[in-house]
Structure 1
């Protein structure tokens, strides 16, 4: 196909309402992406300076984690002003310049929408807590102490729910004489979406950003905005302590109503936008409803099933290695569930997840192979792939050795609570080293230098010392590198209709550790074989010789070009290969 034909097809795709089926999204965590002024913290001018890297990679959309004004109790996910940029990251002019430069390269910019909660320093909350007669009192969730209990004492909290960041979800406010709800940190009070004034204030803010040139939103924990009323206790845990209240505040009864209203008020009549909802605890049934285009809610959702596979019985910070085939089985479940309606977000990494090559791959013996195998099976499924900064070079977990090295509020709260219970510090640190969100937040490794080309100053979070061997500079233009493998995968999605629109069929090849599947669309087929283990694995592929006319389009290890030859011997550890064929005539 000529380059002119490719260009014409891409132009036609860009005009489609579902343009995002062919797109690849890249998440930037600005604090850790690139520092432009030497203060050790990444910023918008830093992102602007690295746009050519993103264009080289071939991504279509950049999703910016929060850059709004914030006290940074949760690294920007606690917003004090939705219509301003935090000085740590720059100015509105800097953002405008970034948007213009990205658009000039054909890259859309999506912002994080954090509207389940605000900062307790937002003017809305300041007015809400000013007194029980405040006009904005019911913009947040306020409640008196539990009957028969002294306000502000243990056990007086209105419900027994546990916060995502440990401890209770209720904070006593002495000045106004009631508790307020915060599902996350105490400095992140939950907005009351039952109040139509709250909803329309949010919609007005969203329209303001779209009018400024933003191309859509990733909606933080959006399925928490509808709580089940009245707020009540959750079943107690057998071991005691705070209870899991998630069934009472996730996927609530008015969620779809709120999102449909948002679509009417904000997105209707605008084209070329992307809306993706982060939805912890979402079921496949809910995901089908949320992403059904006929319902006009969101384009796609992030589900969490696969990133919980390594959580142990005692939770996230007591991880265990998933069973062979567990990751492929989880992906297959979601591929099948959304096959006829809806759409999948495909991801292994983001700012809340430890590095996938360390969690699901083998970052010691087979680092490059496992990083590229995981990328292959992710990008070639049906859905829109997301690349988290540094994932494209195979960045790994960092060697955090003591609690002083951590910065994340979730990790620090977990450690403090564990110490209060009398846990062994070494055991707690081991879990944090494996699963802390700080693993995702170490600075991007641009160069093999002490600060990895991220800053000329002291980085806010220590650079992973393996930047000496894992960096953009060490991989750019190097055949077989993780970076070049990502570029090839992104190019396949852009070049082949079958990747963007094809059906997905899992193949049984006799070993659950081997993820094999076929994508098919209008006479095109793509065969993907990947050994997701650190041992050689045999493959029983029925009709393998029928694929021998197919063209080998990508592989992360040396392998025969013919499918029958490739499966005749065991697949090497973390080997991944892709073949493409078209029907004759």
Structure 2
């Protein structure tokens, strides 16, 4: 009995103590939960320069852009680019090119011999400064192609700082493994001295020459924390624009304004070649809106130096789908790129290691680019990142042929309807967010859009409609 009473008393005490302890623990847990700051923060923590919000990029391959292949000759074309509405001019690498293991007669601009000098093939440092100043006078900005991952074999750093380079198992300098980049050798970003040298070099071009940012070649091969440090240092000088040749979300947080949308390009090419239908874009935009931050700029392009040199010239690559591809690259979520020669309907693959100037000609496609740039500037729904409006797919009955969407905010409405097939298409679009009065972006015709309306589109044609006030 005594033992039982003791056990009972112990149990009652234990329960009481447990209740008291539980209350204390609950209070502590509540306090712990409340302690952190659960306020949502923007994923993109960098501040995009204001001049990028409706920007269009134009890439210049200096070697091929003019018959002279020089900065001076390219400068003479800047008023034409400004008239087109170009905001950002991207110059391919402007540095001296290595001679050891050089490819072709003139070599690759991406085999850099000296990060703080200018390739005499293009002119002098003063010529480059004059180019930058002229662009600024026309309200354009200039970014340089920066090759941080590797150098030419005869870059002066090889002898001055051999410890800054990767080595293979034999202890020898190492070209980038597994690919035929035999004219370059890889740098080692575990070296603090290399990081400081590279950052200081980029600061020089912004601070002393006046450039407005960089396109980072193979950015994903260089540690992200390096780029984050660079961005912080450059923004101390002035707001810069940073474009990464990379397709990865997290680089947008603290380093890059824009990244390549390779997925968009590959989807468009598959559709153009008949390897996918219009519904493939629904999967691309599912990923784009689900995985990427709203304020990330994803660069959309139908041509660039890699595609033109190694795959095919854009008019040949896309065939009859070319106009659809161009128009969608401007209407879509993303920052559009025009590669030099596209406005002349360049149908040639330009040699990469030799002089092979563009054969310039007047072509109606230049008017298309001009109209699309004007449209992007005028319609705030088409602006870049969170300054614009998200695309919302329109509900319709022909997913295999038709890709249709609306971008709408308080100030602007834009509808895009694309026949992404080689056959004529009919489609009924029934969506309550669509009806209203619109103007055709190309013909200027006013169109009253009703719910459930049927649309007919010829093969590879589109309708772009701009919302207007009800008359």
TM norm structure 2: 0.78
Bigger CA drift: 526-535 or 560-569? 560-569
Match of 2:42 in 1: none
The correspondence for 1:371, drawn from 322, 334, 340, is 322
Deviation at 1:69, TM superposition (A): 0.5
The correspondence for 1:503, drawn from 365, 371, 390, is 390
Contact kept in structure 1, 2:58 and 2:338, CA below 8 Å = yes
Match of 2:92 in 1: 65
Q: Are 1:142 and 2:173 counterparts?
A: no
Q: Are 1:524 and 2:438 counterparts?
A: no
Deviation at 1:335, TM superposition (A): 3.4
Q: Distance in 1 between matches of 2:373 and 2:268?
A: 28
Match of 1:274 in 2: 241
For the aligned residue pairs, the C-alpha RMSD in angstroms reads 3.1
Match of 1:570 in 2: 456
For 1:255-404, what aligned pairs fall within 5 Å after superposition?
A: 255=224, 257-264=225-232, 266-279=233-246, 282=247, 286-287=248-249, 289-292=250-253, 296-308=254-266, 321-325=274-278, 328-329=281-282, 331-336=284-289, 337-338=291-292, 340-353=294-307, 354-359=312-317, 361-362=318-319, 366=320, 370-398=321-349
Match of 1:182 in 2: 176
Contact kept in structure 2, 1:30 and 1:65, CA below 8 Å = yes
Match of 1:116 in 2: 149
SS class of match (1:387)? strand
* Greater Cα radius of gyration, structure 1 or 2: 2
The correspondence for 1:217, drawn from 214, 221, 228, is 214
- Flag the 1:28–1:540 CA change in 2: closer, same or farther, 3 A: same
Match of 1:536 in 2: 424
For 1:109-258, what aligned pairs fall within 5 Å after superposition?
A: 109-127=142-160, 136-145=161-170, 178-183=172-177, 185-211=181-207, 212-226=209-223, 255=224, 257-258=225-226
The correspondence for 1:553, drawn from 425, 436, 441, is 441
Contact kept in structure 1, 2:436 and 2:467, CA below 8 Å = no
Contact kept in structure 1, 2:56 and 2:336, CA below 8 Å = yes
1:504-546, CA deviations, whole angstroms, 9 ceiling, x for partnerless residues? 1123432333221111112522101122222212222114895
| Count, aligned residues | 405
- Flag the 1:397–1:568 CA change in 2: closer, same or farther, 3 A: farther
1:303-355, CA deviations, whole angstroms, 9 ceiling, x for partnerless residues? 4224445999xxxxxx9753122763464245313353523222221100133
Q: Distance in 2 between matches of 1:327 and 1:112?
A: 32
Deviation at 1:83, TM superposition (A): 1.4
- Flag the 1:327–1:77 CA change in 2: closer, same or farther, 3 A: farther
- Flag the 1:20–1:331 CA change in 2: closer, same or farther, 3 A: farther
1:457-485, CA deviations, whole angstroms, 9 ceiling, x for partnerless residues? xxxxxxxxxxxxxx2x2x3xxxxx21111
Match of 2:5 in 1: none
SS class of match (1:275)? strand
Q: Distance in 2 between matches of 1:535 and 1:559?
A: 25
- Flag the 1:268–1:218 CA change in 2: closer, same or farther, 3 A: same
Deviation at 1:84, TM superposition (A): 1.4
SS class of match (2:327)? helix
Q: Distance in 2 between matches of 1:19 and 1:58?
A: 13
1:173-219, CA deviations, whole angstroms, 9 ceiling, x for partnerless residues? xxxx6352424512210111111111110000000000110010000
Contact kept in structure 1, 2:268 and 2:325, CA below 8 Å = no
Q: Distance in 2 between matches of 1:86 and 1:122?
A: 13
Unaligned runs of 5+ in 2: 1-46
Q: Distance in 2 between matches of 1:566 and 1:536?
A: 19
Match of 1:45 in 2: 72
- Flag the 1:545–1:60 CA change in 2: closer, same or farther, 3 A: closer
Contact kept in structure 1, 2:90 and 2:215, CA below 8 Å = yes
Deviation at 1:375, TM superposition (A): 1.4
Deviation at 1:565, TM superposition (A): 11
SS class of match (1:382)? coil
Q: Distance in 2 between matches of 1:343 and 1:396?
A: 28
For 1:27-106, what aligned pairs fall within 5 Å after superposition?
A: 27-36=59-68, 42-71=69-98, 73=103, 74-106=107-139
SS class of match (1:178)? coil
Q: Distance in 1 between matches of 2:356 and 2:453?
A: 39
1:472-499, CA deviations, whole angstroms, 9 ceiling, x for partnerless residues? x2x3xxxxx2111110110111112111
Deviation at 1:144, TM superposition (A): 2.6
